[in-house]
A and B are shown apart, each in its own frame.
Chain A
Amino acid sequence: KAGVTQTPRYLIKTRGQQVTLSCSPISGHRSVSWYQQTPGQGLQFLFEYFSETQRNKGNFPGRFSGRQFSNSRSEMNVSTLELGDSALYLCASSTRLAGQGELFFGEGSRLTVL
C-alpha cells in the first residue's frame, strides 16, 4: 500500500511569489492535515480537511490556504511568500479526523524562500 506522497520534495522561491504543494493520502484515507515545521516554532498545525471540507484551521494568515479534492488529494497554497515561510511542510492522512485515528505522515516538502 502506497504511503502519503508529497510533491514537490524541494523547492526554492523568491519573496512575493506563490507556491502550491500537493499531498496524496493513503488510499481510503479521508482526512488530510497540514503542518509547518521550523527549527524555531516547531510543528504548527495549518489546517485539516475531511471529505473535502475544512474541519479545523490553525493560526496562520490568510495567505495560507488549502483544499481537498473528491479523491482526497489535497493542496495547500501560500501566496505572497515571505522569508519566514521557509519551512518543511508536512502532510498527514488518516482514516478519521486527525488525532482520533493514527496519522500517517509524508516526507514533507521543503520550501526555501529567498
Chain B
Amino acid sequence: AQTVTQSQPEMSVQEAETVTLSCTYDTSESDYYLFWYKQPPSRQMILVIRQEAYKQQNATENRFSVNFQKAAKSFSLKISDSQLGDAAMYFCALKGGKLIFGQGTELSVKP
C-alpha cells in the first residue's frame, strides 16, 4: 500500500523568510512521481512542483525547491522569500499506481 504523511498540520513563516514543509512516503513501486500541490482558500488546487523518482536532481521552480531523499523516502518542500500569496494548504502527493495525497499542511505567512 502507498502512504503519504505530512507531520505538520500547520506552519507559519514571516514574509521574505524561508520555510520547509515535510513529507514522507512509502511505496513498493520502483517508478513513481512526487508532487506538491497548493490549495489557496476557496480557490483551485494548483501544481507547485513535480519530481520523478528516477531523477536524482532535486526539482526547482523559481522560489520553490524540493529536497528529495529517495532512500529515506522523504520529499520536503522549501519556499524561499515567502510571500503573502504563498498562504495556502499544501499537499504532498505520490503517484505509483494511484495518486495518493497527504493530509496537508496549512501555511500562514505573516507580514
* Residues in chain A within 8 A of chain B (CB atoms): 3-4, 33, 35, 42-45, 48, 56, 58, 90, 92, 98-100, 102-103, 105-107
Q: Which chain A positions have C-beta within 8 A of B101? A: 35, 42-45
Decide if B99 touches A45 in the complex (CB within 8 Å). yes
A99-B33, A99-B35, A100-B33 given; A33·B99 CB < 8 A? yes
Q: Mark B98-109, 1 if CB is under 8 A from A, else 0.
A: 111111100000
- B95 touching A107, Cβ below 8 Å: no
- The interface on chain B, measured as residues whose beta carbon lies within 8 A of the other chain's beta carbons, has a size of 20
Please name 25 pairs of A and B residues whose Cβ atoms are closer than 8 Å in the assembled complex, sorted by A: A4-B44, A35-B101, A42-B101, A43-B101, A43-B104, A44-B101, A45-B99, A45-B101, A48-B98, A48-B99, A56-B97, A56-B98, A58-B98, A90-B45, A92-B45, A98-B95, A98-B99, A99-B33, A99-B99, A100-B33, A102-B50, A103-B45, A103-B99, A105-B46, A107-B43
Q: Is B84 an interface residue (CB 8 A)?
A: no
A102 to B102, CA, bound (A): 17
B99 pairs with A102, CB closer than 8 A: no
Kindly state whether residue B91 has any CB partner on chain A within 8 Å. yes
Which chain B positions have C-beta within 8 A of A98?
A: 95, 99
Task: Decide if B91 touches A45 in the complex (CB within 8 Å).
Answer: no
**Which B residues are in CB contact (< 8 Å) with A35?**
101
Give bound CA distance, A19 to B93, whole Å: 28
Q: Which residues of A contact B104 (CB under 8 A)?
A: 42-43
Residues B59-111 near A (CB distance < 8 A): 91, 93, 95, 97-104
16 further interface pairs, Cβ-Cβ under 8 Å (given A100-B95, A102-B50, A107-B43): A42-B104, A43-B101, A43-B104, A44-B101, A45-B98, A56-B97, A58-B98, A90-B45, A99-B33, A99-B93, A99-B99, A103-B37, A103-B47, A103-B99, A105-B44, A105-B45
